[in-house]
Each structure stands twice: as C-alpha cells, then as structure tokens.
Amino acid sequence: MLIAGNWKMFKGPGETDAFLGAFEPPAGVEVAVCPPFVSLAAAVASGRTVYAQNVHWEPEGAYTGEVSAGMLLELGVHGALVGHSERRQLFGETDETVARRARAALEAGLRVIACVGETLEQRASGDTDLVLTIQVEAIAFAVGEHERLVLAYEPVWAIGTGKSATPEQAQAAHAFIKRLLDRPVLYGGSVKPENAADLLGLASVDGALVGGASLEPDTFGAICRAAASSS
C-alpha cells in the first residue's frame, strides 16, 4: 500500500521542514511526499521517501524549466509523478510525452507514478474505458510491466472539486486498468480522511495519490492510518 502526497505548488523549503518535522507516518504503509522542485532537497534531508512532480525525458539539453531524472537522482529523490491531470490540461502534456517521461525516469532508476483518468464530459459520454485504454496503452507500450511503475487513476472531475468517485466507480476503473497493465493502481481524486477507508479497502485499490488533504499533517496522517488498517 502506497500513499503519496502531491503538494502541487504549495510549501517552500521552510514549510516542508515544518511539515515533515510534525508528521510521523504509521507502520505498515509506504508513504511518499511530492513537493515542488524548490523543496525537494529539504524533503530529502528529512530521510523520507520523496517523489518529484514531473521529470523530463532527456538527460540534459536546452529545455528551460525542465529537470532531468539524473538531476533528481543526484539530489536523492526516489521517484517522480508523470502525466498528472493538471499537467495534461494546463500544460499540454500528451499521452506521448507522458510515456516518454515515464520511460526516461524508469530507465534512469527512478520509481514512477503515472497518472491516467477521464474528464467529466468523457465519463458522461460513456468514453471512460476508451480514454483509459488510450492512456494506459501508451504507457504500457513505452515501459511494459516495469517493477518500479505504479499507475494512479485520477477521475479528473474529482480533483480539487470535493467530489470523489464512489467505491463502485473506483473499483471498476481500477480493475479495468489492471486488465490493461498489471501494475499497482493508486486512487487519486479528493481522497480525504472521511472516504479513505472505503476507497482503500477496495480489492483493486493499492493506495492513494492525495492532493489537498496531504497539505496538513493531521489529515494526511489520518489517510495513512486508514491505509495501514486496510493493508
């Protein structure tokens, strides 16, 4: 069971120090934090498992604003997110670039959490399975069933909205993804202490990618404890 906290564009180095000083993960669950690039060093210094929020597919070059897998490894980072819905929607990530980022990170030795998921319009039109098939197969074609790869199912309509997939919706989506690519699948979409136990107790859910609820030690700790109880 893996619980990853995606801090998005929150918490500079000072806030990262304060958070990790106050947060103690429970036994029985793997916990990772995904701070902004400027806070990675502070997080690594805490001795916790740290993932970056993105990684480029080239080892170096004229790619202003990007960070390579080798740079992250040198810093002591354990892994990286790729393909988060905000990267896809706001910054033009495509299935191709997500797959390239995943392949480069895995080949360099990082772990990867690769995100997939449908929008509200795609779900409403009955295209959830089609969207997931296209996204997952792009990753599968690039990296296969790599031992350091984890997927994260993010129903885009449930991110930052306070809405969450029902346990039935989450279970169906996770089971479908695993039929496409046999790797662990985290649930990401308004995970909070109130729904964590129900979601994490599902047969096909292998953890959670937590957004807003990961920003406070108390709420993130409650989700981690729910995961430990479900393991």
* Residue 64, C-beta contacts closer than 8 angstroms, at least 6 positions apart: none
State how many domains the chain has.
1
**150: β partners:** 113
The answer to whether the CB of 217 falls within 8 A of the CB of 23 is yes
Query: Angle at Cα 140 formed by Cα 136 and Cα 145, nearest 5°?
Result: 120
Other beta carbons less than 10 A from residue 117's beta carbon: 29
d(CA 179, CA 225): 29
Q: What is the pLDDT along the chain (231 residues), one digit of tens a residue?
A: 999 999 999 999 999 999 999 999 999 999 999 999 999 999 999 999 999 999 999 999 999 999 999 999 999 999 999 999 999 999 999 999 999 999 999 999 999 999 999 998 898 899 999 999 999 999 999 999 999 999 999 998 877 666 778 899 999 999 999 999 999 999 998 899 999 999 999 999 999 999 999 999 999 999 999 999 987
Taking the model in full, what pTM does it have?
0.96
CATH of the domain at 123: 3.20.20.70
How many residues can be counted in the chain? 231
The answer to whether the CB of 116 falls within 8 A of the CB of 75 is no
Q: What range does the domain containing 176 cover? A: 2-230
- Annotated catalytic sites, by residue? 84, 154
Residue in 219, 228, 210, 208 with CA at minimum distance from that of residue 26: 228
